[in-house]
Amino acid sequence: MRFVLFGNTYQTKKSTHIQQLLATLRRMKNEVYIDASFYNFVKQELELQFEPDGIFEDGDFEADMAISMGGDGTFLKTASRIGNKNIPILGVNTGRLGFLADVSPEEIDKAFADILHGCYHIEERKVLQLSCEPQNFKGYPFALNEVSVLKRDTSSMISIRTQVNGQYLTTYQADGLIVATPTGSTAYSLSVGGPIMIPQSGILAITAVAPHSLNIRPIVVRDDSVITLDIESRSHNFLVSVDGRSESLHEGTRLTIRRAPYTVKLVQQNGHSFINTLREKMMWGADKR
């Protein structure tokens, strides 16, 4: 198989297992191509001596499978690089929680032996697409986890007039608003009181950040809904975050959020599931009495 490798380029401790990974893939007679920024980081920071089959930049790559080495943040960046290439992604978790990154460093040998024997499954996850008018979002406008709108340059709340499929929902007076996929329901959305959603449930959650109202609660809508946001701010600008990639936009810019025309494919080990991860890694439902 041909693998492309992406990794965390900020923390050296999250890249220390790369030699083990490369040795495992080489022993099993696979080709490994590595992202140039990750290659340079590992060579300079860790001073490791290794040579992949090739080095690539930007979107100039093809592969049977992509490997993300790091935490869930690295996985999100990998997903943005894969885009609509239809390449399944396996996450090797060298971070903390590892909801998307499914394989621990201790499982590397077994996981890739299983993959080469076809003993794995692929989950398709829905993606959000952001469009802005008249000002454009300059970065990659697709989100696996969430699209967030947040206040900027002032401590005052922002007003977020929200429509779903052209119908007026409400105007949130809050520090921000999060539109999350089921994949993102255990990330930022969860931290502000949003619901946990099973990955294949076909829904989105709209959750306010610190709303100034006792009547505001998260609401769940179908994932084929079109959500429109118009924002007012005392500073006349606001922050938009797409899976952590943030930009400042001017007041008067209309945001439209809808389901993207492609999905992200997650490689999952047999026996691993969202429910198990939820219970084991997030201690969901744990009762020590």
Domains in the chain: boundaries:
2-118, 127-262
**Lowest model confidence (mean pLDDT) among 130-134, 214-218, 284-288:** 284-288
Q: How confident is the model at residue 41 (pLDDT cuts 50, 70, 90)?
A: confident
| Contact by Cβ (8 Å): 138, 247 | yes
Q: How confident is the model at residue 250 (pLDDT cuts 50, 70, 90)?
A: very high
- Rg (alpha carbons) of the chain, rounded to whole number: 20
Q: Do domains 2-118 and 127-262 have the same CATH topology?
A: no
| Contact by Cβ (8 Å): 135, 113 | no
* Overall average pLDDT of the 84-109 stretch: 88
Amino acid at 177: L
Using the predicted structure, report yes or no on whether residue 12 has a pLDDT greater than 70: no
Using the predicted structure, report yes or no on whether residue 57 has a pLDDT greater than 80: yes
| Contact by Cβ (8 Å): 269, 114 | yes
The mean pLDDT value of the chain amounts to 92
Cα 289 to chain centroid, rounded: 35
| Contact by Cβ (8 Å): 21, 92 | yes
Amino acid at 234: R
Instruction: Give the pLDDT of residue 13.
Output: 66
* Overall average pLDDT of the 256-273 stretch: 93
Out of 35, 72, 102, 175, the active site residue is 72
Looking at residue 235, the DSSP 8-state letter turns out to be: T
Instruction: Give the pLDDT of residue 199.
Output: 93
Using the predicted structure, report yes or no on whether residue 140 has a pLDDT greater than 90: yes
Using the predicted structure, report yes or no on whether residue 98 has a pLDDT greater than 90: no
Round to whole Å and give the CA distance between 276 and 264.
21
Round to whole Å and give the CA distance between 224 and 135.
24
Sign of CA dihedral 157, 158, 162, 168: positive
| Contact by Cβ (8 Å): 127, 264 | yes
237-242 sheet: strands from edge to edge: 219-222, 203-209, 176-180, 146-150, 237-242, 245-250
Say whether 223 is catalytic.
Answer: no
In tens, the pLDDT along 226-245 reads 999 999 999 999 999 999 99
Round to whole Å and give the CA distance between 179 and 127.
11
Using the predicted structure, report yes or no on whether residue 14 has a pLDDT greater than 80: no
* Overall average pLDDT of the 60-78 stretch: 93
What percent of the chain is predicted at pLDDT more than 70?
Answer: 98
Q: How confident is the model at residue 283 (pLDDT cuts 50, 70, 90)?
A: confident
- Which residue's structure tokens are 């809904």? 225
Amino acid at 232: E
Domain 127-262 has CATH 2.60.200.30: yes
* Overall average pLDDT of the 156-170 stretch: 97
Q: Three-state secondary structure along 35-65? A: EHHHHHHHHHHHCCCCCCCEEECCCCCCCCE
Q: Which CATH class is domain 2-118?
A: alpha beta
